[in-house]
Structure formats: structure tokens, C-alpha cells
Amino acid sequence: MEFAAADCELIYCGKLPDSHTLRQENINDLLVAKALEDKMVVRLKGGDPGVFGRVGEESAALAEYQIPFEIVPGISSGIAAPLYAGIPVTHREYAESFAVVTAHDKSKDGKPLLDWEGLARGVDTIAFYMGVGNLPFICENLITHGKPANTPVILIQWGTFGRQKTLQGTLVDITAKVAEAKFSNPAIILVGEVISLREKISWFEKKPLFGRQIVLARTGTNQSQCAKELMEQGADVIEFPKWKRTSLPVDLTKVPAYDKILFAQPESVEEFFKALFLNQFDIRKIRASFFGISFKTIHALNERGFMANLAEEMPGSGSLLIVGDNSNLKNTANYGLFDLLITSKREPDLQFMPIFKRMLEEAEVNTMIFPSSAAVESFIEGLRECDIDAQEFLKDLQIVGMGKQTMGAIESAGLQHAEMPERATKQALIDYLKAFPNVEE
């Protein structure tokens, strides 16, 4: 979704074995209908679309109407999830063969009709997809048809995400362990001796922020570098709300008169300089010092060759122009007298709201991060659009605010248990989360 155009229509089609947002037949019909409207359609899937991804049915529906299409291969979850758990599915000493198997089918009881003897005796590593409900049936058949009862088994839930969980056992005891742990789909069941390598080469779960399930309050339309770095450290990050922007015409005639120009968002930097170029405005006429409301905004100015300081370092004297979107009328009480140059209209992308609610249902969020003061009210407003009460949602989370102004906005919103890193930088935030985990091990 990060790479979709602002006017892109988003249609959520996520499925679990017992929960289908849209039935497969409806998805096929929808693909055809949208393509016949002469639209560019992307059917985005997790993993590889050709491995239990129903791509055959969907492409056949398109072909029936002579609609041209392209299939882009991916990495199947039966390979990716084990690797993120520290397990290669093949190894010269442990596994020379590998199979991917559906663990439920279209039969009345959902139990797959498989060549159990061929799997048990002829395949070293077996990956069963979405089969937690049929786990006793799987283990029983593998043992009955020749697989040793002490063969290692591991379940990997939410593989490759920071919320990834694993549960390890053998064919004879894994069913009881799953029942006790209340383990559920979405999960890959991996069977084979190659699982013994996990203790040596497990890597993802050793990342410093693994286990962090973070909601990052979002104010901009560009992809967050903070979110990217948190994920690189092993965290699972949901950015919310999702915004869309529409550029507005601007009047630049008074810009040379100001002593200070404060940019309210990184996007406002790009919009401002684009407006200068389109209006053939000579940058040398500007005598003001530049300031940014966040380090991200300052970085955007630095990339254009300008030095800038944080808003909190801005002197009180001198005339001030605030450049940004239509949200600048809020959270500006500390700046005294100022004028506004509104470069764009920013509004929440309402079609993202049901997707966000589904993401929250699937995650176990334990951390809330507000990167700026403007993010606090925007986030609470976004929750209202989802019919979620902010106080209830945040009451058990570790809340982290970036900077004194952000902490003030958090307190004004009635959120009393927030914490703050020493500095409002990405690295300081990461160091703080490492030092004060507040996450169940």
C-alpha cells in the first residue's frame, strides 16, 4: 500500500480458514469487473501466488474474458517462515527433499487426501500450510505410515513478522503442546530433522526489538524512515492513520518579508520548493532562517542544501511564517504571532480504516509511539473514524513520545503514562526501547 497512488482504490480480500472477507468466487468476479473498467488492477498476495495462492483460478477467470495479465512470483511462506525461525528447508546433512502440502481441502471434514506413505518415507522436510486444526490428523498419519514418532515438528505463526511465534515438539507430543499454548493459524507446520539446526542459526528472534508490536502515529504521506528502522531491528510496526494529500495554489509574494520560516512536515518542504520553481521565484530573495518541526523535516531541508534547527530552538523575536498543510491551524499555540502558507490539503484515507481494524485484530500491540505533537491529535481522530476509544486502546500500552512538545500534547490529550527518550531521534528511540522493553518474553 505504501507504493500505491493517492487515488488508488484499496479492496481488502484477506482470508483465514474460518474467516473470508470475500469468497474466492467474489474475488475472481471483482478482478474481472475492475479490469473491464479499463483500470490497472494489482492483486497483491502474501508469499508466492502460485503456492496455494489461488492464482490459477483468478488468472483463468481473467483469461476467460481475454484480459491480459502478468504474474509476479514471490517467496512462499513455507520457505520464508522457516528461514525466519532459523531453519533452512534443505541441508546436505539433514534434508535432500522438501514438499509443500495443503493441510485442509474442499472435502466435508477438511482433512486432506494425501499420499501419506510417500510423504512419511520419501520426503525429508514437509511444510503444511494453514493446518493447525488438522494437526492431530497430520501427526497420526505420518507416524502410521512410517515417520518416526520423535521426528521434530515446529509451528511458526505470523512468520517473518515481529509478532512471529514458534512452538517446537515432536510428532508424538506437538498436538498437546499446541492445545496447551492455544496456538492458532496463520501458521506453517514444519516436519523434519532439519529443525535441529534452529538452535545454531536462529537469527530473526535475536534482533533487539523482536516482540515489539508497535503502532506508530503517522502524520505524513511518505513512508516513515522511523518505521523502517524499527522493523530492521525486529519490531512489527503498524503506521496509522494513512493520509492523502492534494496540492494547493500558493501566494509567494510576501515570503521575502519573514525572518523565520517553520516547515511543519517533510512533505511541506517539497511542496514549498516545487511552488518556488513553478512560480519562477528566486530563492535568493528569501532572508529567513529555516526551522523544522521534527528531525525528519530538518533532514528534508538538509537534502536541499539548507541548514535548519528544531522549532523548539527558534528565537521568539522576528516575524514567522509556518509552511505546511491545512492541519497547521492546530498545535501552534507556542509560536506566538505567525502567518500561514498552506501548500496542500491533507485528509485521512478512509478506505484504509477497515484494513487497520483488521490489522489490530490480528496483532497484539504492546507499544505506542508518537513521533511529533501533531501526531497525537491526528491519531486520536483516526481512532474515532474506526469507532475505537483512544483511552481504552492505549491504557495497557507503553506510550513513547518524541520530544517535549510531543509529551505536552500527549498530556493535553489525557494520556498520563507516557515516556520519553533523551533525544527526539530515531537512534535514541531505538536505544530507549532496547533499555526499557516492557514486553513479555
Q: Are residues 82 and 175 in the same domain?
A: yes
Higher pLDDT, 141 or 1: 141
Q: Are residues 266 and 237 in the same domain?
A: no
Specify the pLDDT at position 438: 59
Q: Are residues 81 and 194 in the same domain?
A: yes
Average pLDDT value for residue range 395-415 = 93
Per-residue buried b or exposed e for 270-309, using 16+ beta carbons within 10 Å of the residue's own CB: bbbbebbeeeebeeeebebbbbbbbbbbbebbeeeebebb
Q: Are residues 164 and 82 in the same domain?
A: yes
Q: Report CA 47 to chain centroid distance, whole Å.
A: 15
Q: Are residues 145 and 40 in the same domain?
A: no
Number of domains composing the chain: 4
Predicted TM-score of the model (pTM): 0.82
Specify the pLDDT at position 106: 65
The amino acid that residue 373 corresponds to is S
Q: Are residues 424 and 297 in the same domain?
A: no
Q: Are residues 329 and 274 in the same domain?
A: yes
Looking at 342, 375, 405, which one is the last position of a domain? 342
| Cell numbers at 195, concatenated | 529443525
Q: Are residues 162 and 235 in the same domain?
A: no
Which range, of 12-16, 168-172, 411-415, averages the lowest pLDDT? 12-16
Q: pLDDT tens across 41-84, in order?
A: 999 998 999 999 899 999 999 999 999 999 999 999 999 999 99
State the Cα–Cα distance between residues 417 and 398, nearest whole angstrom. Answer: 8
Q: pLDDT tens across 249-266, in order?
A: 999 999 999 999 999 988
pLDDT of 8 strictly over 90: no
Which range, of 36-40, 107-111, 191-195, 280-284, averages the lowest pLDDT? 107-111
Higher pLDDT, 352 or 147: 147
State the Cα–Cα distance between residues 211 and 207, nearest whole angstrom. Answer: 9
Q: Are residues 316 and 369 in the same domain?
A: no
Average pLDDT value for residue range 348-363 = 86
Q: Are residues 119 and 192 in the same domain?
A: yes
Specify the pLDDT at position 441: 45
Specify the pLDDT at position 439: 54
The DSSP letter of residue 294 is S
Higher pLDDT, 205 or 416: 205
Q: Are residues 237 and 354 in the same domain?
A: yes
- Asked, for residue 249, whether it belongs to a domain, the answer is no
400, 404, 408, 411: CA torsion to nearest 10: 30
Q: Are residues 81 and 174 in the same domain?
A: yes
pLDDT of 334 strictly over 80: no
Domain CATH code at residue 279:
3.40.50.10090
414, 417, 422, 428: CA torsion to nearest 10: -100
State the Cα–Cα distance between residues 14 and 46, nearest whole angstrom. Answer: 10
Domain CATH code at residue 60:
3.40.1010.10
Domain CATH code at residue 145:
3.30.950.10
Q: pLDDT tens across 223-237, in order?
A: 788 999 999 999 999
Q: pLDDT tens across 373-393, in order?
A: 889 988 998 899 889 999 999
Q: Count of CB atoms within 10 A of residue 103's CB?
A: 25
Radius of gyration in angstroms for the set of CA atoms belonging to the chain, rounded to a whole number: 26
Full residue range of the structural domain in which residue 98 is found: 77-202
Average pLDDT value for residue range 200-210 = 95
